Amino acid sequence: MDRILLIDGLNSIWRANIAFKPGEKTEPSFVIVYNFFRNLRATIEEFEPTKVFFCLEGSDNFRHKLFPDYKGNRTVKTAATADRKNLDDFYRQADIIVKLISSLPITTVRADKFECDDVIASLAENLKEEEVIVISNDSDFIQLLQKDYKNFKIYNPFTKTYMTAPEYHYLTWKCLAGDKRTDNIPGLVGPGAAEKLATNIDKFAEFMGTHEHRSNYSLNKELIELKMIHMDDLQFTEHHVNYNLLKEEFAKMDCKSMLTEKYWDKFCETFSTLR
């Protein structure tokens, strides 16, 4: 049985978005790239997978057409906490990471009109006979924990713990509670009331007796439920392993500590077991 990692791409890049003091470790202009590849190596060392998929967002996400305010709070939050220059720099470094990761034995996957979450859910379904570990702190993946996958886990790299599923049906609960903080999805009731409804089929049926509740619940489900994408619609970007190219790019970015002979040899060795 293979052990396969499904990495939530943008989530993992965001985790690398911490600042060092100027001149410490590496130049500030490439600190996210630096952090990302050091984190990635540590992840591969810890889980020792045989295969890694790096999953990304597709373009023209269908959820925005269903609900134009979907994730609209993220724009507001970003504007309140960082100027446009910083946001542009984050995506500049994210583009560099996506480009460079193809020099490692890691396959990039995305699908037009779908989110990274849907890509991961679809891969998990198709790989359910293998041991699969999702690397993300996105609680929406709890939906997958409540399927009948035998060897499936979600590892939260921020808390360094595995996620666990609640006793109630998570998707039902979240469709009722919404997700105003993260995805700007309005709730129908509060989290506590949502849990009570999700655990009492009679109360839930009574609640869904109005057209308004049914309509709002249906919209939330379309936004929250992980979608299964046909394998033919998944876009796989196969890797072309080139450690020399990667080393040259790290040198250009002045990632000095990664280029010492001792560290670089271990870096390459870590990824050499992947296929």
Burial 152-185 (b: 16+ CB within 10 A, else e): bbbbbbeeeeebeeeebebbbbbbbbbbeeebbb
177 CB-near residues (< 8 Å, 6+ apart): 187, 188, 189, 190, 191, 194
pLDDT value at position 180? 87
Cα torsion at 186, 119, 124, 74 (round to 10°)? -40
113-138 tens-digit pLDDT: 999 999 999 999 999 999 999 999 99
pLDDT at 210 over 50: yes
Instruction: Please report which confidence band the pLDDT of residue 23 belongs to, taking 50, 70 and 90 as the band edges.
Output: very low
Percent of the chain with pLDDT over 90: 80
H or E segment and range at residue 264: helix 261-271
Q: What are phi and psi of 56, to 5 degrees?
A: -125, 165
Say what the pLDDT of residue 74 is: 56
Q: What is the pTM of this model?
A: 0.91
- Domains identified in the chain and CATH numbers: 3-167+226-271 (3.40.50.1010), 170-224 (no CATH)
Q: How far apart are CA 108 and CA 5, in angstroms?
A: 12
> What mean pLDDT do residues 30-51 have?
96
- Would strands 235-237 and 107-110 be described as parallel, antiparallel, or unpaired? antiparallel
pLDDT at 86: 75
Res. 76 pLDDT band, cuts 50 70 90? very low
Backbone angles phi, psi at 107, to 5 degrees: -95, 130
Per-residue pLDDT tens over the stretch 211-265 = 999 999 999 999 999 999 999 999 999 889 999 999 999 999 999 899 999 999 9
pLDDT value at residue 29 = 80
> For residues 83 and 100, which has the higher predicted lDDT (pLDDT)?
100
- CA torsion, ordered 15, 123, 147, 187, to nearest 10 deg: 50
Confidence of residue 28 (pLDDT cuts 50, 70, 90): low
Q: 5: which strand partners?
A: 52, 133
Mean pLDDT for all residues in the chain:
91
Closest alpha carbon to 130 in 269, 4, 264, 257:
4
Give tens-digit pLDDT for 161-201. 999 999 999 999 999 999 988 889 999 999 999 999 999 99
